[in-house]
Amino acid sequence: GAGVSQSPSNKVTEKGKDVELRCDPISGHTALYWYRQRLGQGLEFLIYFQGNSAPDKSGLPSDRFSAERTGESVSTLTIQRTQQEDSAVYLCASSIDRGGANEQFFGPGTRLTVL
Amino acid sequence: DAKTTQPTSMDCAEGRAANLPCNHSTISGNEYVYWYRQIHSQGPQYIIHGLKNNETNEMASLIITEDRKSSTLILPHATLRDTAVYYCIVRARGSQGNLIFGKGTKLSVKP
């Protein structure tokens, strides 16, 4: 079946511009996660959505970052007034999160380059 | 979630078994051992998980010691495409929220 998809795969933008990154989770997965991975670094958690609960935003690095999710479907991560340090691969993952093994399935990521 | 310790890097010859160790000496009774890997320029990929019994799937085998303080991920016949960073994560079954990835082990499979 279809996995997690993300778009665009690559995004180059100028400093100060806003960007929107999209994630389509696996159908039926109630939980959705955004992570960031800078070049040569590990994964940093950004935000977590679970069903209709309030999202866990504890990983968002600044108020320039926000994310929305429509029900248990698509999510959009928005970065306003981008800075060069925002350059990274942004990874989305989804999982069933219903008390089971909860393995997370990751998308291919969006590579963001801020010039 | 309990802390894990993995070697920074390992090499393996193509076609041989790759054995990747992980120490998790503070693991608690309800915590599972999960393995993920990240191939260069791709998102992480779930491999396998287990509680206390050895587990096997189409990708790998997981051997957990009797005291559960350590485990080994085994790729029985490593290929060049198995070159990746392998992450061992300890997590309670049913727990929600983000995964915490450490530095993992960089496995290089060489011809």
Q: What's the gap in Å between the CA of B52 and the closest CA on chain A?
A: 14
How big is chain A, counted in residues? 115
Segment A50-72, tens digit of pLDDT: 888 889 999 999 999 999 998 88
Q: Is the pLDDT of residue A83 over 80?
A: yes
Q: B99 contacts in A (CB within 8 Å)?
A: 33, 43, 45, 104
Segment A1-44, tens digit of pLDDT: 589 999 999 999 999 999 999 999 999 898 999 999 999 888 89
In this complex, do B42 and A108 lie within 8 Å of one another by their Cβ atoms? Answer: yes
Task: Tabulate helix, strand, coil % of chain B (nearest 5).
Answer: 5, 50, 50
Q: Is the pLDDT of residue A76 over 90?
A: yes
Segment A89-111, tens digit of pLDDT: 999 999 986 655 668 999 999 99
Segment B15-66, tens digit of pLDDT: 999 999 999 999 988 889 999 999 998 999 999 999 998 999 999 999 999 9
